[in-house]
Amino acid sequence: MAVVFMEGFDHLSAAQLPSKGWSVVMNIVAGRFGGQAAQVTYSTGTSSRALPGAYSTYIHGQALLLPYAAIETVIALRSGATNVVRLTTVTSGPNVVFRLINASGTVLATGTTPIRASVWYYVEMKVVVHASAGTVELRLNGSSTAECSATGVNTGSSNIDNVLLSAEYYSGMVTQSDDMYGVDTTGSAPTNTWLGEVRVCTLIPNGNGANTAWGGTGTGGFGEWDDITAHDDDTTYVSSSTPGDRETSTLTDLSAATSTVFAVQTNLVARKDDAGTRTIAPVVVIGGTPYDGTTTAALSSSYADYTQLYDRLDPSGATWTASTVNAMETGVKEIA
């Protein structure tokens, strides 16, 4: 594994953010490139999300917009409820700039680029955890040059296991987040290091695929599960009661400007509608061959979001390309 999580917020309503693991309901607002973003406000407090593991070296990237430039805490990489490193801003001369702070409040590094209100910045933070030999680095807008960095510093002794979004400073403060990724630096290039500025593109079912065993609320097929910006629960859905049944669909294409695909993640929103154990798995069809993903835990009777991330390689073992993504089908298989 190298890319360990991604989020673009384009397929969720505010009320559905907890189904993806966010601790507090945030607002959903207009994001970059015509998509959606998550907005944290001072009045609603912070929102955190657990990572898939605990990491001694971790890179976090995301688009960030601050309607007010001066703000106390924007992003925190944490261990449990303890901040490991926080991204904040500070007034430096006539400008507001980013800075990195450790758990005890010690300033580790301070940037020089003036931060403007209501402007999107792509921030990437790398932290190596160590009580005396830790390192931190901040990069902006895809640059390979550090905005600020420090070595031989105290970044604690507990590995990073969650990310927190915040709007701490004063009443009325908000922050907006979009196009997130997390990398744990293991695995193979190019997804074991800085990814640069990225976009998380949400692709939507747009046609029936080669597997159509599941039924639907109407005519069945992709039209029953092509929800975008928010899933509609029991209004439209596909369903099956037969283990082994698959349902797949074709998808909208990536942006024509896409040159590199670092990872792909499937998102299934599902529940069971009767007693008994039910499990499903995501399906990705590459070159006409269906590849079943990891079987979920037993489904709940309430809707929840089930994701699977395919880092660097598609299920057939080949490196992801834009043409592979545009030609693939995705869907679901009933396991039991």
Q: Do residues 170 and 240 both lie within one domain?
A: no
Amino acid at 297: A
Q: Which residues are 239's β-sheet partners?
A: 215
CA dist 174 and 189 (Å) reads 36
d(CA 48, CA 166): 9
Name the strand (E) or helix (H) holding 111: none
Q: How far is CA 213 from CA 221, 244, 248, 288, in A?
A: 9, 9, 9, 16
Question: Into how many domains does the chain fold?
Answer: 2
- Does residue 194 form part of some domain? no
Domain membership of residue 114 as a residue range? 3-183
Residues across the chain: 336
* Residue for token pair 């403060």: 173
Task: Write the single-letter amino acid at 157.
Answer: S
Please tell me whether residues 309 and 173 are part of one structural domain. no
- Are both 219 and 253 inside the same structural domain? yes
Whether 211 and 110 share a structural domain = no
CATH number at residue 101: 2.60.120.200
Q: Dihedral through CA 226, CA 230, CA 236, CA 240, nearest 10?
A: 70
Q: Identify whether 188 is part of a domain.
A: no
Q: Which amino acid is at 242?
A: T
The predicted structure's pLDDT at residue 168: 74
Contact 324, 306 (CB under 8 A): no
**How far is Cα 178 from Cα 98, in angstroms, rounded to an integer?**
18
Half-sphere exposure of residue 82, counting CA atoms within 13 Å on the CB side? Answer: 11
Which residue is it, tokens 């976009």? 199
> Which of 99, 107, 58 is closest to 79 using CA atoms?
58
Contact 73, 88 (CB under 8 A): yes
Q: State which amino acid sits at residue 256.
A: A
Say what the pLDDT of residue 169 is. Answer: 63
Region of 221 (left: φ > 0; alpha: ψ -120 to 50; beta: rest) is left
Strand-pair partners of 41: 174
DSSP of 278-329, one letter per residue?
--EEEEEEETTEEEE-PPPSPPPSS-EEEEEEEESB-TTSSBP-HHHHHH-E
Decide: 5 and 51 in contact? Cβ < 8 Å.
yes
Task: Find the CATH number of the domain harbouring 236.
Answer: 2.60.120
**Any domain includes 258:** yes
DSSP β-ladder status, 36-41 and 120-128: unpaired
Peptide bond into 67 cis (omega under 30): no
| Residue at 213 is within a domain | yes
Alpha-carbon Rg for the chain, nearest whole angstrom, is 21
Is 113 in the same domain as 221? no
Question: 17 with 128, same domain?
Answer: yes
pTM, full prediction? 0.94
Specify the pLDDT at position 333: 97
Residue 132 sits in the same domain as residue 221 = no
Residues of the chain with pLDDT under 70: 1, 69-70, 169-171, 218-220
The pLDDT, as a whole number, for residue 32 is 95
Within-domain flag for 200: no
Token pair in block for residue 241: 């009661």
Whole-Å CA distances, 287 to 151, 225, 259, 325: 47, 23, 20, 11
Answer yes or no: are the C-beta atoms of 159 and 54 closer than 8 Å: yes
> Is residue 206 within 8 Å of residue 331, measured between CB atoms?
no
Task: Quote the pLDDT of residue 176.
Answer: 95
102/158 Cα distance (integer angstroms)? 12
Element (H, E) at 281: strand 280-286
Q: Rounded to an integer, what distance in angstroms lies between the CA atom of residue 78 and that of residue 72?
A: 16
- Domain shared by 138 and 221, yes or no: no
| 216 shares a domain with 118 | no
| Tens digits of residue pLDDT in 120-166 | 999 999 999 999 999 999 999 999 999 999 999 999 999 999 999 99
